[in-house]
Amino acid sequence: KNQVEQSPQSLIILEGKNCTLQCNYTVSPFSNLRWYKQDTGRGPVSLTIMTFSENTKSNGRYTATLDADTKQSSLHITASQLSDSASYICVVRETGANNLFFGTGTRLTVIP
């Protein structure tokens, strides 16, 4: 069964600290993996998208990694800011079919 699991479910960190969010998947065959940021009351916004051949991609203070062999991805946030408080969603696309698998997200809270 194709699944996407994210951990932790929630996380609280101090402003200025780094953190790493995890996404493990069983989707096969794999096409791509995307990380979204969703602010409260807003729609998800794409941060990065990675294909099978990419193992690192950055977007400002956000760096995503992908290990297609172990089917794991991580999103690393550097020098966190209050505005990073949001839910982060991992989405994996299956090759050859119009199937996307959404994780349930990690709720990040950055406190001063």
Residues that bind another protein (CB under 8 A): 4, 31-32, 41-46, 49, 89, 91, 93, 98, 100-105
Of 15 and 39, which CB lies nearer to another protein in the complex structure? 39
Q: 3-state DSSP call for residue 40? A: coil
The minimum distance between CB 103 and another protein, in angstroms, equals 6
Cβ neighbours of residue 94 closer than 8 Å, sequence gap 6 or more: 2, 27, 28, 29, 30, 31, 100, 101
Of 76 and 101, which CB lies nearer to another protein in the complex structure? 101
Residues β-bridged to residue 109? 12
Of 20 and 95, which CB lies nearer to another protein in the complex structure? 95
